[in-house]
């Protein structure tokens, strides 16, 4: 065991450990509404390199739907990003059977009647990249706040919010014309679903994985005009717990987008009440997906490195999302 642990450690120093879960838990989709279909895949390619792929279709018409995708090469940190406004007029959004969202160059859907057991997303961009991914919901759902309903926007506004944190993944990426097959044994997908009945002023959200651990966390800081809500939902195998914490952004390390004019912090400290803490750092400053029509169309979706002391764990990786709905 000691030798094995050491080997794992040696590998971890040069690469991230992306392992899908193989749970037989039966996940289900909520049957009403449709707003955000969001997926992040942590990919080890057959080329032995690692990538983060993000794909998101926001079907809320404010006034247009947003389709966006990005890929980050986790070694060279080369970054590809695209955002398109999708229109109901030239696409399909059908939830009557298996989910089928098809806007031509962007799609998101399910190949199972329950809308969630087996899923896919694709994006064919004109920005030197495309993605074509499939995943299984082979991972037990993480219900945010324990129930899957969180306060979101002016009270009593809420959102349903849940994620399936580590599904098995296959498919491919095309980067600068080169096709890269996904290695399913060393890749995982977090599928996240949100239906919002209101919007807060802005938020910071972390998707957290730890190397070789069944502990997964979804961590929110939600800013209202006069109040901030901070809570972490932690899924440890079969159990869920909700923890209070305090988020501190490091204001000395930030990046300002010349497109959106938004200044994003790039490192944070999260302090939990029992003395546990996490230090989270974005690995590349400009991981913004920019949309020109509304402030809310832009999102920072960045790969982050995680270190600290959390329930006995020390190292992890994940994603930070930062969105501003309105200023002041
Ligand atoms: C995954 O779980 C199923 C049953 O739940 C089992 O048949 C299968 O062998 C498992 N696969 C792996 C790779 O562990
Ligand atoms: C989709 O529809 C919108 C308006 O409804 C139009 O502006 C756009 O060009 C169409 N796109 C395609 C690819 O047909
Ligand atoms: C890429 O360009 C082609 C040809 O101009 C166009 O039909 C297609 O809609 C574009 N796709 C995206 C995602 O912009
Ligand atoms: C969430 O908000 C919607 C719309 O206001 C409301 O219908 C629903 O009952 C709320 N859900 C919960 C669990 O409070
Ligand atoms: C919301 O935006 C303000 C202004 O940029 C920022 O100071 C604050 O940290 C943000 N809150 C969250 C939770 O991201
Ligand atoms: C960003 O700020 C500059 C300088 O204040 C201003 O000229 C520009 O219009 C702003 N752009 C956006 C997208 O708000």
Angstrom distance (rounded) from CA 230 to CA 23: 29
pTM to 2 decimals? 0.92
How many residues belong to the chain? Answer: 328
Q: Is 185 in the pocket of ligand 1 (CB under 6 A)?
A: no
> 22: CA distance to ligand 1 center in Å?
6
pLDDT at 122: 98
Angstrom distance (rounded) from CA 213 to CA 289: 30
**Order of strands, sheet of 129-136, starting from the edge strand that comes earlier in the sequence:** 92-94, 100-102, 106-110, 118-124, 129-136, 169-175, 178-181
Q: Which residues of the chain are modeled with pLDDT < 50?
A: 1-13
> 325: CA distance to ligand 4 center in Å?
21
Determine contact, residues 140/27, Cβ cutoff 8 Å.
yes
3-state secondary structure of 287: coil
Look at residues 81, 184, 72, 181 and name the one whose alpha carbon lies nearest to residue 132: 181
Q: String of b and e for 133-142 (b: at least 16 CB within 10 Å)? A: bbbbbbbbbb
Does residue 293 form part of some domain? Answer: yes
Express each pLDDT in 228-237 by its tens digit: 999 999 999 8
CATH of the domain at 103: 2.40.370.10
Does residue 12 form part of some domain? Answer: no
Which residue owns the Cα nearest ligand 1 atom 11?
22
Split into its structural domains, the chain has a count of: 1
> 90: CA distance to ligand 2 center in Å?
6
Q: Is 233 in the pocket of ligand 5 (CB under 6 A)?
A: no
Does residue 166 form part of some domain? Answer: yes
Q: Which domain holds residue 57?
A: 34-324
């Amino acid at each position: 065991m000691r030798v094995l642990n050491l080997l794992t450690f040696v590998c971890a120093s040069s690469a991230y450990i992306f392992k899908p879960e193989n749970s037989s838990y039966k996940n289900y989709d909520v049957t009403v509404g449709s707003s955000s279909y969001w997926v992040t895949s942590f990919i080890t390619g057959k080329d032995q390199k690692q990538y983060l792929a993000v794909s998101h279709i926001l079907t809320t018409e404010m006034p247009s739907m947003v389709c966006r995708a990005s890929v980050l090469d986790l070694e060279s940190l080369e970054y590809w990003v695209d955002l398109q406004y999708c229109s109901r007029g030239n696409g399909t959004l059908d939830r009557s059977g298996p989910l089928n969202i098809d806007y031509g160059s962007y799609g998101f859907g399910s190949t199972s009647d329950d809308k969630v057991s087996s899923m896919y997303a694709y994006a064919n961009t004109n920005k030197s990249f495309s993605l074509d991914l499939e995943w299984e919901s082979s991972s037990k759902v993480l219900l945010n706040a324990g129930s899957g309903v969180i306060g979101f926007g002016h009270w009593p506004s809420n959102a349903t919010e849940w994620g399936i944190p580590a599904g098995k993944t296959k498919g491919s990426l095309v980067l600068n014309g080169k096709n890269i097959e996904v290695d399913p044994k060393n890749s995982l997908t977090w599928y996240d679903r949100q239906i919002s009945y209101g919007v807060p002023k802005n938020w910071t959200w972390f998707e957290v994985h730890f190397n070789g651990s069944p502990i997964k966390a979804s961590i929110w800081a939600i800013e209202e005009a006069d109040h901030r809500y901070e809570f972490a939902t932690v899924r440890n195998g079969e159990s869920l717990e909700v923890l209070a914490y305090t988020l501190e952004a490091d204001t000395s390390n930030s990046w300002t987008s010349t497109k959106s004019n938004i200044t994003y912090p790039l490192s944070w400290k999260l302090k939990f009440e029992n003395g546990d803490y996490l230090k989270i750092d974005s690995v590349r400053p400009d991981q913004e997906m920019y949309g020109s029509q509304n402030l809310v169309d832009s999102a920072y979706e960045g790969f982050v490195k995680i270190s600290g002391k959390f329930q006995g764990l020390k190292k992890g990786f994940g994603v930070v999302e930062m969105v501003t709905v309105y200023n002041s």
